[in-house]
Structure 1
Amino acid sequence: MEIAVIGSDEFTLGFRLAGVRLVYVAGKENYQEKMQEAMSDANVGILAVNANDLQYLPNAYRTKVLDSIKPVVVPVGGDQSDLREKVKRVIGVDLYKTEDE
């Protein structure tokens, strides 16, 4: 299983510099096609996406992508920037939960 990223050249650059090898460069016009390609790749375990780019997907497909277990899709940036919620969604456990909550 590998980590992959999908988005513009600018968005994916940091991931490339960090060593992510599976990169799907996509823009508004081909985002859904590239997303389908990434989602069907058996080697992808975690797929990082720009949260703002998810608007390029139809609502039903966006929901399917975000609910996916394999690969786990992790939106980065945008309105979903709360790290606690991202971690909880990805691993299914609230690591920040205290005994008081």
Structure 2
Amino acid sequence: MEFAVLGREEFVLGFRLAGVTRVYAVQPEGFEEAILSIIDDSSVGILAVDAKDLSRVSANTRRKALESISPVVIQVGGDEGDLREKVKSAIGVDLYKTERD
């Protein structure tokens, strides 16, 4: 299973520089079609997307992406609470939990 990134060219550039090979640079109008295609690709295990791009797709597509188990869709660029909940739902453990929580 591979790590993939989907978003505008400015978003995916850093991932390319970090060595991610499955990079899909799309214009905002092509984002919804691209995410649905990648979600159906069994070779992708984790898909990172820009939270702003994901917020612009239809409610059905957003729900399908966020409820996907394989690949796990990670929103990048949202607030920490969103990432915390996504990690917790993906692996079943709250990594941010402290003894005080």
Fold equivalence (TM over 0.5): yes
**Match of 2:80, as an amino acid?**
S
Match status 1:64 vs 2:64:
yes
Equivalent residue of 1:4, what SS? strand
Deviation at 1:3, TM superposition (A): 0.3
Deviation at 1:99, TM superposition (A): 4.0
CA contact (8 A) 1:51 1:76 kept: yes
Structure 2: how far apart are the matches of 1:44 and 1:91?
Answer: 17
**Match of 1:42, as an amino acid?**
S
Q: CA RMSD for the aligned pairs? A: 1.6
**Match of 1:76, as an amino acid?**
V
Structure 2: how far apart are the matches of 1:84 and 1:56?
Answer: 21
Deviation at 1:32, TM superposition (A): 1.1
Structure 2: how far apart are the matches of 1:32 and 1:81?
Answer: 24
* Equivalence for 2:8: 8
TM-score (norm 2): 0.87
CA contact (8 A) 1:50 1:76 kept: yes
What 5-or-longer segments of structure 1 have no aligned partner?
none
Q: Write out aligned runs for 1:35-50 (5 A).
A: 35-50=35-50
Deviation at 1:7, TM superposition (A): 0.2
Q: Write out aligned runs for 1:69-88 (5 A).
A: 69-78=69-78, 80-82=79-81, 83-88=83-88
Q: Which has the higher helix share?
A: 2
Give the share of equivalent positions with the same residue, in percent: 55
Deviation at 1:93, TM superposition (A): 0.6
Deviation at 1:17, TM superposition (A): 1.0
Q: How many residue pairs end up in the alignment?
A: 100
TM-score (norm 1): 0.87
What 5-or-longer segments of structure 2 have no aligned partner?
none
